[in-house]
Amino acid sequence: MMSTLRELTTEELLAPGHRMCAGCPVPTFIRMTLKALRGPAVLVNATGCLEVSTSIYPYTAWRLPWVHVAFENAAAVASGIEAGFKALMRKGRWDQKVDVIAIGGDGGTFDIGLQALSGALERGHDFLYICYDNEAYMNTGIQRSGSTTFGAATTTSPPGAKIPGKREWKKDLIAIAVAHDIPYAATASVAFWKDCIAKVRKGIEVDGPAVIHAITPCPRGWRHEPSESIKVARLAVQTRFFPLYEVENGKYRITLPVPNPLPVEELLKTQGRFRHLFKPENRWMIEAIQRWVDKNYERLLKLSQL
């Protein structure tokens, strides 16, 4: 396991000049991820914001082997690549360990790609799957996803007199992954770089599948200032809205405890997608989100004590 920051590569494997939106923290998160590589690697990228903006023909921002696949099959393609390298090694035609990493957004992970991810985890492929979560289908018009927060305004959950934003609660991706009895799963935030890099390295080094769920605020979809993306990502942790924890061989551990959290309202008020919740008739939704946040954190505390 990586023991010192001196082991991090100084090479920049995501080149400047990509076309991600101003203030988007996903390139920062990807640079952190690539710093944790330990050797040869192949990156599989589902269709989405990251893929579209880093591979506009005839240019690419990637300085390592990179594969673009459809929204729904990143985990399946990563499985095939991992199995292919194993076959080559069995036949004596390849002698290097190659780390396979799949990356998808919340749309391509929580929803469209969940079947492929579940199959890969169940089969036990040795690869790392990373979801960068901006809580909607941002690339195609800010439609709600299974990751979108309850009450959030999107183009398919617009707040009005009858429906005050999204009516469903966010899926628990890590719990779904852990249910497959995988060796490692964790959450990460782009605002906490050391925690993030350490978890990526752990996910790469375990023998078997690993899943990392990272919060990456979207200025366009969340309606906050581009300069505040890291602040918003930090608030998500400080309010316990997005706890940082890991599950290693079934053992839960909160990696960044928040003993004195800020009210979740402090996070919500930074984002225009929740503006309607501050109307008197919708305040009950803020209270419901706070209860959900409190209940989830208490659950993680109990699991961490087992």
Do the beta carbons of residue 269 and residue 279 sit within 8 Å? no
Output the pLDDT for position 161: 87
Alpha carbons 228 and 217: distance in angstroms, whole number: 9
The packing angle between helices 26-35 and 193-205, to 10°, is 50
Output the pLDDT for position 162: 87
Output the pLDDT for position 10: 81
Residue 44's nearest CA partner among 13, 16, 70, 25 is 70
Residue type, 152: A
Residue 255's nearest CA partner among 167, 178, 187, 208 is 187
Other C-beta atoms lying within 10 Å of the C-beta of residue 248: 14
**What number of helices (H) and strands (E) belong to the chain?**
10, 8
Alpha carbons 146 and 135: distance in angstroms, whole number: 8
Domain hosting residue 154, numbered range: 5-304
What is the domain-level CATH number for residue 68? Answer: 3.40.50.970
Instruction: Look at the chain and report how many structural domains it folds into.
Output: 1
Output the pLDDT for position 4: 52
Residue 47's nearest CA partner among 27, 76, 67 is 67
38, exposed or middle or buried, with CB in 10 Å at 0-12, 13-18, 19+?
A: middle
Output the pLDDT for position 2: 53
Residue type, 128: L
Output the pLDDT for position 306: 87
The packing angle between helices 74-90 and 114-123, to 10°, is 30
Give the chain's length. Answer: 306
Average confidence (pLDDT) per 10 residues, the chain, 306 residues? 63 91 96 94 97 94 97 97 97 96 97 97 98 96 97 96 94 98 98 96 97 98 97 98 98 98 98 97 97 98 95
131, exposed or middle or buried, with CB in 10 Å at 0-12, 13-18, 19+?
A: buried
Question: Reduced to 3 states, what is the DSSP secondary structure of residue 140?
Answer: helix
